[in-house]
Structure 1
Protein backbone atom coordinates (compact mmCIF):
# COMPACT_ATOMS: atom_id res chain seq x y z
CA UNK A 1 0.00 0.00 0.00
CA UNK A 2 1.34 3.43 -0.93
CA UNK A 3 1.92 6.12 1.67
CA UNK A 4 -0.47 9.00 0.90
CA UNK A 5 1.80 11.83 2.08
CA UNK A 6 4.84 10.44 0.24
CA UNK A 7 2.72 10.05 -2.92
CA UNK A 8 1.58 13.69 -2.78
CA UNK A 9 5.10 14.91 -2.01
CA UNK A 10 6.48 12.92 -4.97
CA UNK A 11 3.85 14.50 -7.23
CA UNK A 12 4.49 18.02 -5.89
CA UNK A 13 0.90 18.22 -4.67
CA UNK A 14 1.57 19.12 -1.06
CA UNK A 15 2.97 22.28 0.45
CA UNK A 16 2.26 22.07 4.16
CA UNK A 17 0.61 19.52 6.40
CA UNK A 18 -1.22 19.78 9.69
CA UNK A 19 0.77 18.41 12.65
CA UNK A 20 -0.18 14.81 13.36
CA UNK A 21 -1.76 14.18 9.96
CA UNK A 22 1.04 11.95 8.68
CA UNK A 23 0.95 9.84 11.85
CA UNK A 24 -2.85 9.52 11.63
CA UNK A 25 -2.72 8.40 8.01
CA UNK A 26 -0.04 5.82 8.79
CA UNK A 27 -1.94 4.51 11.84
CA UNK A 28 -5.33 3.61 10.29
CA UNK A 29 -7.77 4.13 7.47
CA UNK A 30 -8.89 7.74 7.59
CA UNK A 31 -11.75 9.60 5.90
CA UNK A 32 -11.39 12.90 4.03
CA UNK A 33 -13.90 14.88 2.01
CA UNK A 34 -14.07 17.19 -0.95
CA UNK A 35 -16.93 19.69 -0.98
CA UNK A 36 -18.72 20.00 -4.32
CA UNK A 37 -21.20 22.72 -5.26
CA UNK A 38 -24.21 21.10 -7.01
CA UNK A 39 -25.16 24.26 -8.94
CA UNK A 40 -24.46 22.39 -12.21
CA UNK A 41 -24.80 18.78 -13.29
CA UNK A 42 -21.14 18.55 -14.25
CA UNK A 43 -17.78 18.87 -12.58
CA UNK A 44 -15.44 21.56 -13.92
CA UNK A 45 -11.70 22.15 -14.07
CA UNK A 46 -11.76 23.68 -10.59
CA UNK A 47 -12.58 20.25 -9.16
CA UNK A 48 -9.64 18.51 -10.82
CA UNK A 49 -6.97 18.78 -8.12
CA UNK A 50 -9.37 17.93 -5.29
CA UNK A 51 -10.72 14.88 -7.12
CA UNK A 52 -7.17 13.76 -7.98
CA UNK A 53 -6.22 13.98 -4.32
CA UNK A 54 -9.28 11.91 -3.34
CA UNK A 55 -8.26 9.31 -5.95
CA UNK A 56 -4.76 9.05 -4.48
CA UNK A 57 -6.27 9.01 -0.98
CA UNK A 58 -8.41 6.00 -1.90
CA UNK A 59 -5.54 4.24 -3.70
CA UNK A 60 -3.55 4.57 -0.45
CA UNK A 61 -6.26 2.72 1.50
CA UNK A 62 -8.26 5.63 2.88
CA UNK A 63 -11.96 6.49 2.44
CA UNK A 64 -12.91 9.47 0.26
CA UNK A 65 -16.16 11.34 0.74
CA UNK A 66 -17.66 13.50 -1.95
CA UNK A 67 -19.73 16.05 -0.02
CA UNK A 68 -22.37 17.66 -2.19
CA UNK A 69 -23.35 21.03 -0.72
CA UNK A 70 -27.06 20.70 -1.44
CA UNK A 71 -28.18 22.84 1.49
CA UNK A 72 -25.84 25.59 0.37
CA UNK A 73 -26.99 25.12 -3.22
CA UNK A 74 -30.59 25.65 -2.15
CA UNK A 75 -29.88 28.96 -0.37
CA UNK A 76 -26.84 30.40 -2.14
CA UNK A 77 -23.27 31.04 -1.07
CA UNK A 78 -21.46 34.37 -1.35
CA UNK A 79 -17.98 32.79 -1.50
CA UNK A 80 -16.16 34.20 -4.48
CA UNK A 81 -19.36 35.41 -6.10
CA UNK A 82 -20.22 38.97 -7.03
CA UNK A 83 -23.89 38.22 -7.60
CA UNK A 84 -26.42 35.99 -5.89
CA UNK A 85 -26.60 32.66 -7.64
CA UNK A 86 -29.74 30.89 -8.75
CA UNK A 87 -31.36 28.87 -6.00
CA UNK A 88 -31.96 25.17 -6.69
CA UNK A 89 -35.15 23.22 -6.13
CA UNK A 90 -34.88 19.66 -4.80
CA UNK A 91 -35.44 17.84 -8.14
CA UNK A 92 -32.66 19.90 -9.78
CA UNK A 93 -30.40 19.32 -6.77
CA UNK A 94 -30.94 15.53 -6.95
CA UNK A 95 -30.38 15.48 -10.72
CA UNK A 96 -27.11 17.39 -10.35
CA UNK A 97 -26.01 15.16 -7.45
CA UNK A 98 -26.54 11.97 -9.48
CA UNK A 99 -24.80 13.42 -12.55
CA UNK A 100 -21.80 14.43 -10.41
CA UNK A 101 -21.68 10.96 -8.85
CA UNK A 102 -21.64 9.35 -12.32
CA UNK A 103 -18.65 11.50 -13.24
CA UNK A 104 -16.84 10.81 -9.98
CA UNK A 105 -17.48 7.07 -10.39
CA UNK A 106 -15.09 7.06 -13.30
CA UNK A 107 -12.27 7.88 -10.85
CA UNK A 108 -13.45 6.80 -7.41
CA UNK A 109 -14.70 3.37 -6.33
CA UNK A 110 -18.18 3.83 -4.88
CA UNK A 111 -19.51 0.34 -5.60
CA UNK A 112 -17.13 -2.23 -4.12
CA UNK A 113 -17.36 -3.88 -0.74
CA UNK A 114 -13.90 -2.53 0.15
CA UNK A 115 -13.74 -0.88 3.56
CA UNK A 116 -12.50 2.29 1.88
CA UNK A 117 -15.22 2.48 -0.77
CA UNK A 118 -16.02 6.11 -1.57
CA UNK A 119 -19.26 7.62 -0.36
CA UNK A 120 -21.27 10.52 -1.70
CA UNK A 121 -23.18 12.49 0.92
CA UNK A 122 -25.31 15.59 0.61
CA UNK A 123 -25.55 18.11 3.45
CA UNK A 124 -29.14 18.82 2.38
CA UNK A 125 -30.08 15.38 3.72
CA UNK A 126 -29.24 16.33 7.31
CA UNK A 127 -30.03 20.05 7.08
CA UNK A 128 -33.52 19.80 5.51
CA UNK A 129 -35.15 18.93 8.84
CA UNK A 130 -33.91 22.08 10.60
CA UNK A 131 -36.56 24.73 11.04
CA UNK A 132 -35.55 28.38 10.83
CA UNK A 133 -36.04 28.81 14.57
CA UNK A 134 -34.00 25.71 15.41
CA UNK A 135 -31.19 26.85 13.14
CA UNK A 136 -31.09 30.39 14.55
CA UNK A 137 -31.26 29.09 18.13
CA UNK A 138 -28.83 26.16 17.85
CA UNK A 139 -26.43 27.22 15.11
CA UNK A 140 -26.84 30.97 14.59
CA UNK A 141 -25.84 31.77 18.16
CA UNK A 142 -22.42 30.20 17.47
CA UNK A 143 -21.58 32.54 14.57
CA UNK A 144 -21.11 36.23 15.22
CA UNK A 145 -21.96 38.97 12.75
CA UNK A 146 -18.37 40.18 13.25
CA UNK A 147 -17.09 36.80 12.02
CA UNK A 148 -19.28 36.99 8.91
CA UNK A 149 -18.36 40.62 8.19
CA UNK A 150 -14.65 39.77 8.40
CA UNK A 151 -14.93 37.39 5.42
CA UNK A 152 -13.54 38.93 2.22
CA UNK A 153 -16.44 37.65 0.12
CA UNK A 154 -18.97 39.32 2.44
CA UNK A 155 -16.97 42.58 2.64
CA UNK A 156 -16.77 42.84 -1.14
CA UNK A 157 -20.49 42.33 -1.58
CA UNK A 158 -21.33 44.83 1.16
CA UNK A 159 -18.95 47.36 -0.36
CA UNK A 160 -20.79 47.43 -3.66
CA UNK A 161 -19.29 44.57 -5.68
CA UNK A 162 -22.16 43.00 -7.60
CA UNK A 163 -25.76 43.29 -6.50
CA UNK A 164 -25.16 43.36 -2.75
CA UNK A 165 -26.08 40.38 -0.58
CA UNK A 166 -29.43 38.95 0.41
CA UNK A 167 -30.23 37.86 3.94
CA UNK A 168 -30.35 34.27 2.66
CA UNK A 169 -26.74 34.38 1.50
CA UNK A 170 -25.56 36.18 4.63
Structure 2
Protein backbone atom coordinates (compact mmCIF):
# COMPACT_ATOMS: atom_id res chain seq x y z
CA UNK A 1 0.00 0.00 0.00
CA UNK A 2 1.33 3.42 -0.99
CA UNK A 3 0.13 5.55 1.93
CA UNK A 4 -0.09 9.34 2.09
CA UNK A 5 -1.10 10.98 5.39
CA UNK A 6 -2.31 14.55 5.27
CA UNK A 7 -2.84 17.11 7.97
CA UNK A 8 -6.21 18.81 7.46
CA UNK A 9 -6.22 22.50 8.46
CA UNK A 10 -3.65 24.37 6.39
CA UNK A 11 -3.14 21.49 3.95
CA UNK A 12 -6.61 20.59 2.66
CA UNK A 13 -8.50 23.66 3.87
CA UNK A 14 -7.72 27.18 4.97
CA UNK A 15 -6.62 27.40 8.58
CA UNK A 16 -7.72 29.96 11.14
CA UNK A 17 -6.16 31.10 14.40
CA UNK A 18 -9.77 31.33 15.62
CA UNK A 19 -10.29 27.63 14.67
CA UNK A 20 -12.35 26.23 11.83
CA UNK A 21 -15.61 25.76 13.70
CA UNK A 22 -18.30 25.05 11.08
CA UNK A 23 -18.87 23.64 7.63
CA UNK A 24 -19.18 27.23 6.32
CA UNK A 25 -15.74 28.07 7.76
CA UNK A 26 -14.24 24.95 6.16
CA UNK A 27 -12.91 26.46 2.92
CA UNK A 28 -10.81 24.26 0.65
CA UNK A 29 -7.37 25.41 -0.42
CA UNK A 30 -7.49 25.76 -4.22
CA UNK A 31 -6.29 22.55 -5.85
CA UNK A 32 -6.40 20.41 -2.70
CA UNK A 33 -9.43 18.30 -3.66
CA UNK A 34 -8.00 17.79 -7.13
CA UNK A 35 -4.68 16.76 -5.57
CA UNK A 36 -6.39 14.07 -3.48
CA UNK A 37 -8.07 12.81 -6.65
CA UNK A 38 -4.71 12.66 -8.47
CA UNK A 39 -3.18 10.69 -5.60
CA UNK A 40 -5.98 8.15 -5.58
CA UNK A 41 -5.95 7.77 -9.37
CA UNK A 42 -2.17 7.16 -9.15
CA UNK A 43 -2.76 4.27 -6.73
CA UNK A 44 -2.11 6.01 -3.42
CA UNK A 45 -4.15 5.46 -0.27
CA UNK A 46 -4.91 8.80 1.38
CA UNK A 47 -5.60 9.29 5.09
CA UNK A 48 -5.97 12.35 7.30
CA UNK A 49 -4.42 12.97 10.75
CA UNK A 50 -5.72 16.15 12.36
CA UNK A 51 -5.64 17.77 15.80
CA UNK A 52 -9.10 19.12 16.59
CA UNK A 53 -8.74 20.64 20.05
CA UNK A 54 -11.67 22.93 19.26
CA UNK A 55 -13.81 19.99 20.39
CA UNK A 56 -12.22 19.95 23.86
CA UNK A 57 -12.40 23.73 24.02
CA UNK A 58 -16.14 23.68 23.24
CA UNK A 59 -15.78 25.72 20.03
CA UNK A 60 -17.71 23.16 17.99
CA UNK A 61 -19.40 19.78 18.40
CA UNK A 62 -18.77 16.34 16.91
CA UNK A 63 -21.70 16.97 14.53
CA UNK A 64 -19.95 20.10 13.22
CA UNK A 65 -16.73 18.14 12.70
CA UNK A 66 -18.65 15.40 10.88
CA UNK A 67 -20.24 18.02 8.59
CA UNK A 68 -16.80 19.49 7.81
CA UNK A 69 -15.45 16.05 6.99
CA UNK A 70 -18.50 15.23 4.86
CA UNK A 71 -17.79 18.39 2.82
CA UNK A 72 -14.11 17.43 2.52
CA UNK A 73 -15.03 13.88 1.42
CA UNK A 74 -17.57 15.13 -1.15
CA UNK A 75 -15.14 17.63 -2.68
CA UNK A 76 -12.43 14.99 -3.02
CA UNK A 77 -14.94 12.54 -4.52
CA UNK A 78 -15.83 15.10 -7.22
CA UNK A 79 -12.23 14.66 -8.42
CA UNK A 80 -12.01 10.87 -8.03
CA UNK A 81 -10.46 11.03 -4.58
CA UNK A 82 -11.31 9.35 -1.31
CA UNK A 83 -9.99 9.22 2.22
CA UNK A 84 -9.31 5.70 3.47
CA UNK A 85 -9.39 6.93 7.07
CA UNK A 86 -9.74 10.21 8.96
CA UNK A 87 -8.12 10.17 12.40
CA UNK A 88 -8.61 13.16 14.68
CA UNK A 89 -7.52 14.10 18.17
CA UNK A 90 -10.42 15.68 20.09
CA UNK A 91 -8.23 16.55 23.08
CA UNK A 92 -6.80 19.83 24.31
CA UNK A 93 -3.09 20.47 24.80
CA UNK A 94 -3.33 19.80 28.57
CA UNK A 95 -5.20 16.48 28.27
CA UNK A 96 -1.97 14.41 28.04
CA UNK A 97 -3.34 12.07 25.38
CA UNK A 98 -1.17 10.00 23.07
CA UNK A 99 -2.89 11.12 19.87
CA UNK A 100 -2.22 14.86 19.77
CA UNK A 101 0.49 15.73 17.28
CA UNK A 102 3.50 15.97 17.59
CA UNK A 103 2.95 12.51 19.13
CA UNK A 104 2.39 9.78 16.53
CA UNK A 105 -0.86 8.38 17.99
CA UNK A 106 -3.06 9.50 15.09
CA UNK A 107 -0.72 7.82 12.65
CA UNK A 108 -0.86 4.63 14.71
CA UNK A 109 -4.68 4.85 14.56
CA UNK A 110 -4.43 5.05 10.77
CA UNK A 111 -2.09 2.06 10.71
CA UNK A 112 -4.56 0.02 12.77
CA UNK A 113 -7.59 1.10 10.74
CA UNK A 114 -5.90 0.24 7.45
CA UNK A 115 -3.93 -2.79 8.67
CA UNK A 116 -0.69 -1.37 7.33
CA UNK A 117 2.52 0.25 8.46
CA UNK A 118 3.15 3.95 7.98
CA UNK A 119 6.89 3.31 7.88
CA UNK A 120 8.08 4.98 4.66
CA UNK A 121 4.70 6.61 3.97
CA UNK A 122 4.50 10.36 3.41
CA UNK A 123 3.21 12.74 6.08
CA UNK A 124 2.33 16.14 4.63
CA UNK A 125 1.76 19.06 6.98
CA UNK A 126 1.98 22.80 7.41
CA UNK A 127 3.53 22.74 10.88
CA UNK A 128 6.57 21.32 12.61
CA UNK A 129 4.33 19.21 14.87
CA UNK A 130 2.82 17.49 11.81
CA UNK A 131 6.27 16.56 10.56
CA UNK A 132 7.44 15.50 14.05
CA UNK A 133 4.48 13.11 14.31
CA UNK A 134 5.27 11.68 10.90
CA UNK A 135 8.97 11.28 11.65
CA UNK A 136 8.17 9.56 14.96
CA UNK A 137 6.12 6.99 13.04
CA UNK A 138 8.82 6.40 10.42
CA UNK A 139 7.22 8.50 7.70
CA UNK A 140 8.91 10.59 5.07
CA UNK A 141 7.84 14.18 5.66
CA UNK A 142 7.09 17.20 3.50
CA UNK A 143 6.02 20.73 4.41
CA UNK A 144 3.55 22.85 2.48
CA UNK A 145 3.66 26.65 2.65
CA UNK A 146 -0.12 26.98 2.94
CA UNK A 147 -1.70 27.43 6.37
CA UNK A 148 1.07 27.90 8.92
CA UNK A 149 3.66 26.51 6.51
CA UNK A 150 5.50 29.73 5.71
CA UNK A 151 6.07 30.38 9.43
CA UNK A 152 7.06 26.74 9.98
CA UNK A 153 9.53 26.74 7.10
CA UNK A 154 11.93 28.96 9.04
CA UNK A 155 11.93 26.51 11.96
CA UNK A 156 12.86 23.45 9.89
CA UNK A 157 16.58 24.14 9.88
CA UNK A 158 16.74 23.89 13.68
CA UNK A 159 15.31 20.35 13.58
CA UNK A 160 18.03 17.91 12.60
CA UNK A 161 15.56 15.13 11.79
CA UNK A 162 13.36 17.42 9.66
CA UNK A 163 15.89 19.72 8.00
CA UNK A 164 15.91 17.62 4.81
CA UNK A 165 12.11 17.62 4.42
CA UNK A 166 11.14 18.95 0.99
CA UNK A 167 9.01 22.09 0.92
CA UNK A 168 6.19 22.75 -1.53
CA UNK A 169 3.93 25.74 -2.16
CA UNK A 170 0.82 23.62 -1.57
CA UNK A 171 -0.54 20.07 -1.64
CA UNK A 172 -1.06 20.19 -5.41
CA UNK A 173 2.64 20.99 -5.94
CA UNK A 174 3.66 18.08 -3.68
CA UNK A 175 1.38 15.69 -5.54
CA UNK A 176 2.69 16.77 -8.95
CA UNK A 177 6.26 16.27 -7.70
CA UNK A 178 5.48 12.87 -6.15
CA UNK A 179 3.76 11.52 -9.23
CA UNK A 180 6.49 12.83 -11.55
CA UNK A 181 9.18 11.17 -9.43
CA UNK A 182 7.58 7.76 -8.87
Q: TM-score range by the shorter chain?
A: 0.3 to 0.5
The structure having more radius of gyration, on CA atoms, is 1
Q: By percentage of residues, which structure has more helix?
A: 1
TM-score by length of 2: 0.36
TM-score by length of 1: 0.38
Q: By percentage of residues, which structure has more strand?
A: 2
